[in-house]
């Protein structure tokens, strides 16, 4: 497959994940009608939105690029010998650009509402910036653990012996579950690109804390990649550089 097409697939997939998932929180998560009745989609709705973005794009473009849409996934698959070394940096660049462009479009749309202010803009944070004011340690463990299991599920669902053609469903459901658990803690990252886009528009302290939402998902993904090589040791895939 032509590399430019694969990078395009990663760009669009990460754009959709960031726009759809973060957009559900920014535009619909806490929306209230003129009557003052909260008609927002809430925690469950936002969690489903993130899962649905991965599910839909996995089937739309996953066959082109492998459907990573997440630097941690790319790195975890590389650690599990499921991604060529030469693809790692180009994929991550495409993913980060996709997330930033999605956040920019979302920001522009949100500005169309009179009186709207950015607030956290679906950015991730710990301590005072955590939705539930969780400590740095709690947020670190949460992000490492959630990313570890996300990669374990992704690699397991795409290994030999797994049901062919259905990987997108458990992967999307896994991301939904991850958000249900961890939105109150960190607003859920498990994806450094998704974290980067909103943080740049939320600004200030959110940018200063962004490092954690690169470090923790990557650590969790690397551990999952190594563990998966043990669990699925005969499934190593040699991809073209």
Contact 83, 92 (CB under 8 A): no
Domain residue ranges in the chain: 3-231
Contact 53, 41 (CB under 8 A): no
What integer pLDDT is reported at residue 48 of this predicted model?
97
CATH class of 3-231: mainly alpha
Q: What is the pTM of this model?
A: 0.92
pLDDT tens, residue by residue, 56-91: 999 999 999 999 999 999 999 999 999 999 999 999
Rounded to an integer, what distance in angstroms lies between the CA atom of residue 211 and that of residue 29?
26
pLDDT tens, residue by residue, 186-197: 999 999 999 999
The series of mean pLDDT values per 10 residues for the chain, 241 residues long, is: 92 98 88 50 94 97 96 97 96 98 97 87 96 97 98 92 85 98 97 98 96 98 96 55 32
């Amino acid at each position: 497959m032509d590399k430019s097409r694969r990078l395009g697939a990663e760009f669009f997939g990460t754009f959709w994940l960031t726009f759809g998932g973060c957009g559900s929180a920014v535009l619909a998560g806490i929306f209230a009608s003129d009557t003052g009745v909260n008609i927002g989609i809430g925690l469950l709705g936002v969690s489903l939105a993130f899962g649905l973005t991965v599910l839909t794009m996995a089937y739309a473009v996953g066959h082109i690029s492998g459907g990573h849409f997440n630097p941690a996934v790319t790195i975890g698959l590389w650690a599990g010998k499921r991604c060529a070394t030469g693809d790692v940096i180009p994929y991550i660049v495409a993913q980060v650009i996709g997330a930033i462009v999605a956040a920019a479009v979302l920001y522009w749309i949100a500005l169309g509402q009179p009186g709207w202010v950015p607030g956290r803009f679906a950015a991730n944070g710990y301590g005072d910036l955590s939705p539930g004011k969780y400590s740095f340690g709690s947020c670190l463990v949460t992000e490492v653990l959630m990313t570890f299991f996300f990669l374990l599920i992704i690699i397991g669902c795409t290994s030999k012996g797994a049901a062919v053609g259905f990987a997108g469903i458990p992967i999307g459901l896994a991301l939904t579950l991850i958000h249900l658990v961890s939105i109150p803690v960190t607003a859920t990252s498990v994806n450094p690109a998704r974290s980067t886009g909103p943080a740049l528009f939320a600004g200030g302290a959110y940018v200063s804390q962004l490092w954690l939402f690169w470090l923790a998902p990557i650590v969790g993904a690397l551990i999952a990649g190594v563990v998966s090589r043990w669990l699925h040791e005969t499934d190593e895939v040699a991809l073209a550089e």
